[in-house]
């Protein structure tokens, strides 16, 4: 008997389940490091593929452009995902084929790096659903279609251009869905900084299912920081002893407190390479609207 829709083969954590069971078309995940973003997104892709015959899921991975270490990690995650997909498909009486079948991890990395990792779930001899893994390339984005999953969008080098390219086909087909996920970007001039920063007056209470907010750009966001993850039973571990530690203890021992605050506390930190942060500019424009005058300082006023 086929599994019921929205009934994952692998048990999900409370905050993962909170997102998985939502039917929102467009959703952004602001989750701290190692809370299971990629696992949840893989489950979502599997669900879409099994729910609709002929579905296409395009998985955009920053790892392809970030280098060998990130690529290896992502390939390992996808190897586990393919095992999970086979288990789910077998229980549903379906067949799974991939371009990585029979390959070792190094070869899987090579397939992944060259954007040739494709998976098919076959419903019969002629109908299948597909997923593919590609790099965040704005030059080829206009040719994408189907459901879109973007992982680590805060590290995409051309995030604004890629997201702009995705928007038109989302508007053209009501069946397509979109998921973006990341931690706050290291640089406050990155496009995702201004797109996904929470409202300044938003307060987040400890919640093992995470917290919801709507960003200034209008996107519904789900937030899971280190404290929410701890409440859900996901521990942080001491770098030296390997014993479980609280978020407070983990931060206290961190040599780079700012990096910890960004990666685990999910703080949008001003202080990147931008001379003036987008958030500060937006705030100044809001406060000055209707009461201030503008001067074009690019003109030559000496004449």
Position 303 scores a pLDDT of 46
Position 271 scores a pLDDT of 67
pLDDT tens digits for 271-299? Answer: 655 555 555 555 565 566 667 766 555 44
Position 211 scores a pLDDT of 94
Neighbouring C-alpha atoms within 13 Å toward the C-beta of 259: 5
Neighbouring C-alpha atoms within 13 Å toward the C-beta of 161: 10
Whether residue 62 is predicted with pLDDT greater than 90 in this model: the reply is no
Whether residue 246 is predicted with pLDDT greater than 80 in this model: the reply is yes
Position 299 scores a pLDDT of 47
Task: Determine contact, residues 227/246, Cβ cutoff 8 Å.
Answer: no
pLDDT tens digits for 99-118? Answer: 777 777 777 677 766 667 77
In a domain, 7, yes or no: no
CA dihedral 66, 70, 75, 80 (to 10 degrees): -140
Position 206 scores a pLDDT of 92
Three-class DSSP category at 237: strand
Three-class DSSP category at 116: coil
Q: What is the CATH number of the domain that holds 265?
A: 3.40.50.300
pLDDT tens digits for 168-181? Answer: 777 777 888 889 99
Task: Determine contact, residues 43/15, Cβ cutoff 8 Å.
Answer: no
Q: Mean pLDDT for the chain? A: 78
In a domain, 199, yes or no: yes
Task: Determine contact, residues 187/193, Cβ cutoff 8 Å.
Answer: yes
Whether residue 92 is predicted with pLDDT greater than 80 in this model: the reply is no
Position 29 scores a pLDDT of 93
Share of the chain above pLDDT 70, in %: 77
Position 222 scores a pLDDT of 94
Residues 6 or more apart whose CB falls under 8 angstroms from that of 214 comprise: 199, 220, 221
Whether residue 263 is predicted with pLDDT greater than 70 in this model: the reply is yes
Residue 155: Cβ within 10 Å count: 20
In a domain, 280, yes or no: yes
Position 121 scores a pLDDT of 83
Position 4 scores a pLDDT of 45
Residue 22: band (very low, low, confident or very high) from pLDDT cuts 50, 70, 90: confident
Task: Determine contact, residues 67/25, Cβ cutoff 8 Å.
Answer: no
Position 2 scores a pLDDT of 44
In a domain, 2, yes or no: no
Position 192 scores a pLDDT of 85
Helix ranges, 14-67 (H)? 14-20, 37-51, 63-66
Residue 71: Cβ within 10 Å count: 18
- Specify the higher pLDDT residue, 149 or 281: 149
In a domain, 5, yes or no: no
Tallying the residues shown for the chain, one arrives at 303
Position 28 scores a pLDDT of 92
In a domain, 111, yes or no: yes
Query: Helices 37-51 & 68-91, crossing angle to 10 degrees?
Result: 40
Whether residue 128 is predicted with pLDDT greater than 80 in this model: the reply is yes
Residue 12: Cβ within 10 Å count: 16
pLDDT tens digits for 181-192? Answer: 988 888 888 888
Q: Look up residue 226 and give its two tokens.
A: 């280190």
In a domain, 9, yes or no: no
Q: Look up residue 15 and give its two tokens.
A: 């905050």
pLDDT tens digits for 32-43? Answer: 988 888 788 888
Number of domains in the chain: 1
In a domain, 302, yes or no: no
Task: Determine contact, residues 210/224, Cβ cutoff 8 Å.
Answer: yes
Position 146 scores a pLDDT of 80
Whether residue 5 is predicted with pLDDT greater than 60 in this model: the reply is no
State which residues form the domain around 75.
Answer: 14-288
């Amino acid at each position: 008997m086929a599994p019921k829709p929205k009934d994952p083969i692998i048990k999900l954590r409370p905050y993962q389940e909170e997102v998985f069971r939502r039917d929102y078309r467009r959703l952004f995940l602001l989750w701290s490091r190692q809370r299971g973003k990629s696992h949840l997104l893989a489950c979502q892709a599997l669900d879409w593929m099994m729910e609709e015959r002929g579905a296409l899921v395009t998985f955009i991975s920053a790892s392809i452009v970030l280098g060998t270490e990130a690529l290896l990690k992502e390939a390992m995650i996808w190897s586990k995902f393919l095992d999970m997909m086979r288990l789910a498909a077998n229980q549903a009486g379906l067949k799974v084929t991939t371009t990585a079948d029979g390959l070792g991890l190094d070869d899987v990395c090579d397939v992944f790096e060259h954007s040739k990792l494709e998976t098919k779930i076959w419903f019969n001899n002629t109908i299948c659903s597909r997923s593919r893994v590609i790099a965040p390339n704005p030059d080829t984005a206009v040719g994408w279609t189907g459901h879109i999953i973007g992982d680590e969008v805060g590290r995409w080098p051309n995030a604004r251009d890629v997201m702009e390219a995705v928007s038109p086909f989302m508007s053209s087909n009501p069946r397509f869905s979109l998921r973006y996920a990341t931690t706050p970007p290291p640089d406050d001039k990155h496009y995702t900084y201004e797109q996904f920063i929470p409202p300044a007056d938003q307060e987040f209470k400890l919640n093992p299912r995470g917290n919801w907010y709507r960003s200034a750009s209008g996107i519904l966001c789900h937030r899971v920081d280190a404290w929410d993850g701890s409440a859900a039973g996901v521990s942080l571990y001491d770098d030296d002893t390997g014993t479980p530690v609280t978020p407070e203890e983990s931060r206290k021992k961190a040599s780079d407190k700012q990096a910890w605050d960004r990666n685990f506390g999910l703080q949008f930190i001003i202080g990147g390479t931008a001379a003036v942060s987008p958030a500060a500019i937006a705030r100044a424009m809001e406060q000055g609207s209707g009461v201030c005058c503008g001067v074009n300082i690019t003109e030559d006023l000496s004449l």
